[in-house]
Structure 1
Amino acid sequence: MMPTTATPAPLGTTALPVCEARPRIYVACLAAYNNGRLHGAWIDVSGPDEVMAQVSVMLAASPEPDAEEWAIHDYEGFEGAHLSEYASFETVCALADFIVEHGSLGARLYREFGDDLEQARAAFEDYAGEYRSAAGFAEEVTRDSGTEIPTSLDYYIDWTALARDMALNGEIMVFQTGFDEVHIFWSR
């Protein structure tokens, strides 16, 4: 029986569904780059030591002798979060783990807090939940607080405006990540 080989994924796609793929970075050899040559490798972001080991292998195979400097020239799977080309592998791996755990919501929080991973992590302590709309959240919070709303007045309440006011007043942060998929965080 002949061994089976995996068919490579078409260019620009991943072999795994997006939800299962690890973020990855393209690390370039700067010695080659500065001499007009492209040499680098796509590396799945796992742990800092594993990434550095793969970078060392890439640098050892460089067409330029004594190559030892590198930079991150591209990345994917970070859901829109920004990476510096000289970010430490500890930072890259921590962000990748956060994105794998929280997806696009995590990336949006990361950007919201000025690319501060610790603040983005801390925001989940104030996570109020996922709702179909911010208006649904405002209505639920109001009703759960014990506020009695007479039936005759119920139709006059604009829950959308109340939710918008809560966001504008800085009480909540609202992130829409899909159709009928809104995430609410209490503001600190």
Structure 2
Amino acid sequence: MDTNATAAPAVPCRADRPRIYVACLAAYNGGRLHGQWIDATEPDEVREEVRTMLADSPEPDAEEWAIHDHEGFEGCRISEWASFDSVCALADFVEQHGRLGARLYGHFEDNLDEARAAFDNHAGEYRSLADFAEEITRETGPEIPAALQYYIDWEAMGRDLELNGDVFTITLGFDEVHVFWNR
């Protein structure tokens, strides 16, 4: 590999926007590093920036590219051959929903449509699944007599809701459990 290789001049990227590093494969296969960080905004804008990067390649007639890196996607996987349409759609989703959206995307095996649809069934954020079980029981059931309240195992009820497939959870941190209905 050419140790004196340089990348294409950097185009200013917004620090808060997910972005991808797109590399010229002709240069890469020739032992040179040539590519560019590009904000994952609109697919047509990304395609135009890639065309410009390829036109500036040190290798003549460069046509092929690959996504060699990404950042700001909260841990989502991105294939080096992902379409710019799907990358930009994922960037929008992650910008809108943050880590929770990214974790949902992974939960649904990188299916963005299913991750989006899950928000229609978001029951809310709770300290634990037991807190969720207690809340829905108190909201939907008859009043629990004071003498019986301490005999109810809310943890078991929450666990049963999840084991029975009624809900699934995404845990983002201590005391931050997001509960989703499986509908």
After TM superposition, the score normalised by the length of structure 1 is: 0.87
Q: How does 1:36-55 map to 2 (within 5 A)?
A: 36-55=31-50
- Give 2:86's aligned residue: 91
- 2:115 paired residue among 120, 127, 132: 120
Q: What's the secondary structure of 1:90's corresponding residue?
A: helix
- Give 1:58's aligned residue: 53
What is the letter of the counterpart of residue 167 of structure 2?
A: I
Q: Deviations over 1:121-151 (max 9, x none)?
A: 1111111111122111110000001233221
- 1:108 paired residue among 94, 99, 103: 103
- Give 2:18's aligned residue: 23
- 2:157 paired residue among 149, 153, 162: 162
**Quick one: distance in 2 between partners of 1:174 and 1:34?**
44
Over the aligned positions, Cα root-mean-square deviation in angstroms equals 1.4
- Give 1:130's aligned residue: 125
**Quick one: distance in 2 between partners of 1:175 and 1:181?**
9
**Quick one: distance in 1 between partners of 2:181 and 2:137?**
14
- 2:64 paired residue among 63, 69, 73: 69
Question: How many corresponding residue pairs?
Answer: 171
**Quick one: distance in 2 between partners of 1:25 and 1:147?**
54
**Quick one: percent identity of the two aligned structures?**
66
- Give 1:147's aligned residue: 142
Comparing 22-31 with 156-165, greater Cα deviation is found at 156-165
What is the letter of the counterpart of residue 41 of structure 2?
A: S
Q: What's the secondary structure of 2:151's corresponding residue?
A: coil
**Quick one: distance in 2 between partners of 1:114 and 1:165?**
24
Comparing 158-167 with 27-36, greater Cα deviation is found at 158-167
Report the Cα offset of residue 15 of structure 1: 7.9
Q: Deviations over 1:57-95 (max 9, x none)?
A: 111111101111100011111111111111110000000
Question: Where in structure 1 are there 5+ consecutive unaligned residues?
Answer: 1-13
Q: Give 4+ residue runs of structure 1 displaced > 6 Å after superposition.
A: none
**Quick one: distance in 2 between partners of 1:121 and 1:147?**
34
Question: Where in structure 2 are there 5+ consecutive unaligned residues?
Answer: 1-12
**Quick one: distance in 2 between partners of 1:134 and 1:81?**
25
Q: What's the secondary structure of 2:23's corresponding residue?
A: strand
**Quick one: distance in 2 between partners of 1:104 and 1:71?**
25
